[in-house]
Structure 1
Amino acid sequence: MGLKLLIEGHLRPAVAVAIKLLKEKPDLIITFPIPLNLQQDLLDHIKEYFIDGKDDTLQTNLRKRTRIIPLGPCVHRDKNFYTLVEEFEPFYTDLISSKPYIAKNGMILDSIRPPDICMMDRTQALHSEALRTVHRITENIPVFVFSFSSTSLTLRILLRGDVPAQAERLSKETGRPIDEILMEFYQPNKGQVIDIPGLPSMYDYEVVPHLSPVMLAFYLKMGSRSYDSFQNCSGIITTSNWVYESQGTRALEKYLSETNRPLYVLGPLGLITPEQLKESSEERTATAFLDGILTKRGKQSLIYVSFGSLFWPPNPEAVWKILEILLERNIPILLSYNNQKASMPEALHSTLTLSENAFITPWAPQNAVLQHPVTGWFLTHCGQNSVMEALSNGIPMIAWPIDTDQPLNAAYMSTKLHVAYELIEVRTKNGLKPLHRGITPRGTMEAVEEEFRGILEKLWSSDGQAKREDAQEIQRKFSTLWDEDGESRKDLRRFISDHLS
């Protein structure tokens, strides 16, 4: 089996799937072709599952039956992301032909029999030429899109249809550049109501509350081709689950069934048990801080702030204002912050660094933070991985969505699941237009401060406690999905039976 990955945040759930597959089918061989600069990250995630002093069959298989093949650099560090398909073709040709493969770093990959199945990270599958490459080499091996996003986002993509074809037609009719038209698809502004099963009704511009230059560039190059990729794959494997978004998952399953293609629902994934957690010196420092706050302030007293490995709000001054309010209120903070994304004012950085109630780290051990009893709330961009990890630990959220599936998750969790408060006043540009739910953001710094102070008053009130209890109920339901008769375990076994038996 081959599993192709490109994005750092997708590594952990991919490894978790590999672990679960090897538990069910120990004779499986899993090949990871991966950008060169993510090779060590992937190895580190695999090592998380090694328990010191324990040498069982699973750990032996992890060492012997997972093959990591470096191909080339990655999108978020190098523009060559868009040519990775050129690296993939010779590798996959040799793999299919049972030939040895010499990687960029000189590693020689021994020949084995051709794979039974290819699973492509949704980000790479968006480059539809990669899918065509696989199908051109062989028509006998199924190619699945491995989606780490919400099923709601997948439905949104499918319901919009073939965006590049629509843009090309409009360009011919109007004479406008295709990229200009694609920009309007990326950040729609018509005020059309969109209805996605399970979600509240939203205006089209609510789906992109901020203009993200990184995501816009990605959309123009590749993201707009999502529909084509989903239409040409053999099926979809999603890391969402039936508990979190049952209506959306059911709708996606029905959509695929109309073309006799399966959906395998394998979430939630990526949780590491306390026994498995391996801490670097930086992580030990973070854990020591959490332990200290727990002793001084008690359980659920800390707010964890992180916007993931890729995103950061385009209006960082709103982030600084919120941090100032937390410091003023003496609320403990653990902040994941990389100064390459935004330059924090020196005075604020100094205050945070010197505060006994604050800890700043360029990378937070998220599982450890969310599992720690001191963590009360998670201020998050609402990326799918972060949402799944938070709810798997029963942690309610403060939602600050930016792009992709995040606005859908935020609206859903705040209005339907009641496990989050959504920050509305932090929106920018088209995001400041009236929301379908009857709110019109003012978008001023005064409004940001007023809204956040109001939310702070609720966090540890009866209203906040109700959200915590709802999150903990979802946590309880999540915990059954991988039981012997749980829905996710049954889907994993169905996948093995269908393609790997």
Structure 2
Amino acid sequence: MALSPLTEDFFDFDIVPVARKIHSDEELRRGRSMDEILEQVAMANNGSDCFSGVIVKHPGSPDMYDYETVARGAGPSSTTGFAHQSAAQQAIKIQMLAKAVDGWIVPTSICLEPVGVPYWREYFKKHGQELFTVGPQALGWLDTAPTAPTNPVVHAFLESSLSQFGAKSVLYISFGSIAFPAATPDLVTALVDTLLALEPRFPFIFALGNEIAALSSELTERVHLSGKGLICDFWVEQRAILQHAAVGWFLTHGGYNSLTEGLCQGIPLIMWPVFAEQPLNAALFSSGPNPVAFELMQIRTGTQCAPSLRGGPAITGTVEDALAEFRATFEAARGARGAALQENAEIMARALQEARAGEFQDALTRLARF
């Protein structure tokens, strides 16, 4: 998770007292259990049990309505991989820890969050806490020497695409290891249909990386018969794919691990938030003076199908409007806007490489002495 999606409100109110106050009032309770109220207070994250359209501010990110900060694309919480621990349980534990810890170790960087990192460093300092921005530390993420995918089918598709369409011609799609827009399968189908219909073609690899990620057998067959894409219902070496010269774009849910892995390789993003902090990450990395991502808006569901504080067309979540947005986004990705985002992503990757021996090493040294 990035730093910027944090808000001071998160630390300024406790979920449990707010929920208890609502539960103790019969009119406010409206027949709900304490657990139900806790979940709704945790979800709203605004000191109440519902979205009200209040403006939420995040350092370095555009202002958003409170309902814009939540995505429901993964469907019920039991499909997100966190069924053993509810959103309220997680938030309560995080809040308790936030007040008790001496410092924060965060895998971010001033390269990624030039406004958020300085802001939160000062904020935590006022509360007697230290901030250590150690950057991406996962093995291999900052390695520059490419590693070829070992799967022969994946490798052959990438090599063929590179030969036919050139460098940066391939779109890699993955919603990570625990997320997938399972609540909107029609929009996932619309995404693939758009790619199959595009001319000139936009070759793509779609990795189905977890147990809830699935496409119909009919759609998978159409993709493979077309020769325009590759559906991988098996484990893939994501870093090796992102490092391949043929890959120029990464369509991702915007989980912090995935987006950082892509940006470390200088790959710009197309972001489809599914749950957790992903809508905030999408807003953060698609905005500012040097954005590195497109943010999809017409994939929102439920109460998120409401006006965006950032403007743009009405958000409906319909297949028709999603199709129009997909087409426009892919067209922009291969135009001047896409070229600018690719340049920004490559600059960010170089900055992260330089930070490895600077900011990240300094943070690790301070941490060792802490």
TM over 0.5: yes
Q: Distance in 1 between matches of 2:210 and 2:128?
A: 48
Q: In the alignment, which residue of structure 2 is the partner of 1:56? A: none
Deviation at 1:252, TM superposition (A): 2.0
Helix, strand or coil: the match of 2:115?
A: helix
Q: In the alignment, which residue of structure 2 is the partner of 1:436? A: 309
Contact 1:271–1:389 (Cα < 8 Å) also in 2: no
Helix, strand or coil: the match of 2:177?
A: coil
Q: Does 1:181 align with 2:33?
A: no
Deviation at 1:462, TM superposition (A): 1.1
Q: Distance in 1 between matches of 2:333 and 2:115?
A: 29
**Deviations along 1:104-130, whole A, 9 cap, x unmatched?**
xxxxxxxxxxxxxxxxxxxxxxxxxxx
Q: In the alignment, which residue of structure 1 is the partner of 2:115? A: 247
Q: In the alignment, which residue of structure 1 is the partner of 2:100? A: 232
**Deviations along 1:228-271, whole A, 9 cap, x unmatched?**
12112232100011111122222222222123221111113325
Deviation at 1:183, TM superposition (A): 3.2
**Deviations along 1:165-220, whole A, 9 cap, x unmatched?**
32122212344422232332314421110111111000001011326422585203
Q: 1:232 to 1:309 in 2, by over 3 A?
A: same
Contact 2:263–2:348 (Cα < 8 Å) also in 1: yes
Residue 442 of structure 1 aligns with an amino acid whose one-letter code is T
Q: In the alignment, which residue of structure 1 is the partner of 2:47? A: none
Deviation at 1:402, TM superposition (A): 1.6
Q: In the alignment, which residue of structure 1 is the partner of 2:59? A: 197
Of 257, 266, 269, the residue aligned with 2:137 is 269
Q: Which runs of 4+ in 1 moved over 4 A?
A: 274-280
Helix, strand or coil: the match of 2:282?
A: helix
Of 189, 194, 207, the residue aligned with 1:336 is 207
RMSD: 2.2
Residue 326 of structure 2 aligns with an amino acid whose one-letter code is F
Q: 1:475 to 1:292 in 2, by over 3 A?
A: same
Q: Does 1:172 align with 2:24?
A: yes
TM-score (norm 1): 0.65
Which structure's relative contact order is higher, taking Cα pairs within 8 Å and 6+ residues apart?
2
Q: Does 1:304 align with 2:304?
A: no
Of 429, 446, 454, the residue aligned with 2:328 is 454
Of 235, 238, 249, the residue aligned with 1:377 is 249
Q: Distance in 1 between matches of 2:321 and 2:107?
A: 36
Deviation at 1:298, TM superposition (A): 0.9
**Deviations along 1:35-64, whole A, 9 cap, x unmatched?**
xxxxxxxxxxxxxxxxxxxxxxxxxxxxxx
Residue 476 of structure 1 aligns with an amino acid whose one-letter code is R
Q: Distance in 1 between matches of 2:228 and 2:264?
A: 26
Deviation at 1:345, TM superposition (A): 2.4
Contact 1:370–1:390 (Cα < 8 Å) also in 2: yes
Contact 1:153–1:404 (Cα < 8 Å) also in 2: no
Q: In the alignment, which residue of structure 2 is the partner of 1:351? A: 222
**Deviations along 1:333-371, whole A, 9 cap, x unmatched?**
111115731542222111123343322223331111111
Contact 1:209–1:430 (Cα < 8 Å) also in 2: no
Deviation at 1:497, TM superposition (A): 2.0
Q: Distance in 2 between matches of 1:154 and 1:432?
A: 23
Which protein is bigger by CA-based radius of gyration? 1
Question: What stretches of structure 1 of length at least 5 have no aligned partner?
Answer: 1-148
Contact 1:208–1:403 (Cα < 8 Å) also in 2: yes
Q: How many pairs are equivalent?
A: 346
Helix, strand or coil: the match of 1:264?
A: strand
Q: Distance in 2 between matches of 1:339 and 1:275?
A: 28
TM-score (norm 2): 0.87
Helix, strand or coil: the match of 1:387?
A: helix
Equivalent residue runs for 1:36-435 within 5 Å: 149-155=1-7, 158-159=10-11, 161-174=13-26, 175=29, 176-185=32-41, 186-187=43-44, 188-210=50-72, 212-214=75-77, 217=83, 218-270=86-138, 272=140, 273=143, 277=147, 283-313=151-181, 314-329=183-198, 330-338=201-209, 340-361=211-232, 362-416=234-288, 417-435=290-308
Q: Does 1:470 align with 2:338?
A: no
Question: What stretches of structure 2 of length at least 5 have no aligned partner?
Answer: 45-49
Contact 1:427–1:441 (Cα < 8 Å) also in 2: yes
Q: Distance in 2 between matches of 1:227 and 1:221?
A: 10
Deviation at 1:477, TM superposition (A): 1.2
